[in-house]
Structure 1
Amino acid sequence: MMKKTFLFLQIVFLYLGSICPAWAQSPENNSLLWKISGNGLEHDSYIFGTIHIICQDQFKMDDRILNALRSSEKIALELDLSDQSELMAMQKLSMNEDFANIENEFDPETREAVDAFLTEHYGVGLQQFGIFKPFALSSLILVKLLPCEDVGSYELFFVEKSKEEGIPMIGLETGEFQISLFDQIPLQQQLDDLGKMVTDKESMDEFLALVSAYLEEDIDRLYELITEADMFKEYGDILLASRNKNWIPTIEALIRDQPSFIAVGSGHLASEMGVIQLLKDAGYHLEPMYAEPIY
Structure 2
Amino acid sequence: MKNQFRLLIYFQLFLFLPFFLCAQGSEEKSLLWKISGNGLEKESYLFGTIHLICEDQFKMDERILKALSKSKKIALEIDLTDPNVMMDMQRLSVNKDFANIKDEFDPEHQIAVDAFLKESFGVGLEQMGIMKPFVISSMIMTKMMPCEQISGYEMFFIQKAQEEKIPVVGLETVASQIGIFDQIPIKEQLDDIGKLVTNNEGMEELTAMVKAYLEEDIEQLYQMIASSELFKEYKGIFLDDRNKSWIPIIEDLVKEQPTFIAVGSGHLASETGVIQLLRNTGYTIEPIK
State whether TM-score is above 0.5.
yes
When structure 1 is superposed on structure 2, of 104-113 and 53-62 the one drifting more is 104-113
Alignment of structure 1 residues 90-109 onto 2, 5 Å: 90-109=89-108
Give the 3-state SS of the residue equivalent to 2:282 in structure 1: coil
Q: Is the 8 A contact 2:14 2:49 kept in 1?
A: no
Task: Report the CA distance between 1:242 and its aligned residue.
Answer: 1.0
Residue 172 of structure 2 aligns with which residue? 173
Q: Is the 8 A contact 1:77 1:171 kept in 2?
A: yes
Deviations 1:98-133 (A, max 9, x none): 211111111211110100000011111001111110
Alignment of structure 1 residues 1-295 onto 2, 5 Å: 2-12=3-13, 14=15, 17-20=18-21, 23-290=22-289
Equivalents in 1 of 2:152, 2:130: separation in Å?
Answer: 25
Q: Is the 8 A contact 1:6 1:138 kept in 2?
A: no
Equivalents in 1 of 2:154, 2:241: separation in Å?
Answer: 22
Q: Is the 8 A contact 1:33 1:288 kept in 2?
A: yes
Q: Is the 8 A contact 2:75 2:171 kept in 1?
A: yes
When structure 1 is superposed on structure 2, of 148-157 and 80-89 the one drifting more is 80-89
Equivalents in 2 of 1:13, 1:184: separation in Å?
Answer: 18
Q: Is the 8 A contact 1:6 1:197 kept in 2?
A: no
Equivalent position amino acid for 2:52 in 1: I
Deviations 1:202-226 (A, max 9, x none): 1000011000000000010010111
Task: Report the CA distance between 1:7 and its aligned residue.
Answer: 3.6
Task: Report the CA distance between 1:14 and its aligned residue.
Answer: 3.8
Equivalents in 1 of 2:10, 2:212: separation in Å?
Answer: 16
Percent identity, aligned pairs only, is: 59
Deviations 1:259-290 (A, max 9, x none): 00000000111111110111111001111000
Equivalents in 2 of 1:211, 1:167: separation in Å?
Answer: 30
What is the alpha-carbon root mean square deviation over aligned residues?
A: 1.2
Task: Report the CA distance between 1:3 and its aligned residue.
Answer: 1.8
Task: Report the CA distance between 1:10 and its aligned residue.
Answer: 2.2
Gaps of 5+ in 1: 291-295
Gaps of 5+ in 2: none
Structure 1 residues 108 and 131: alpha-carbon distance in aligned structure 2, compared to 1, 3 A threshold: same
User: TM-score, structure 1 length as denominator?
Assistant: 0.95
Residue 293 of structure 1 aligns with which residue? none
Task: Report the CA distance between 1:6 and its aligned residue.
Answer: 3.4
Q: Is the 8 A contact 1:74 1:258 kept in 2?
A: yes
Deviations 1:162-198 (A, max 9, x none): 1111110000000100011001000011111110110
User: TM-score, structure 2 length as denominator?
Assistant: 0.97
Task: Report the CA distance between 1:12 and its aligned residue.
Answer: 4.3
Equivalent position amino acid for 2:243 in 1: N
Equivalents in 1 of 2:37, 2:7: separation in Å?
Answer: 39
Equivalent position amino acid for 1:257 in 2: E
Structure 1 residues 211 and 275: alpha-carbon distance in aligned structure 2, compared to 1, 3 A threshold: same
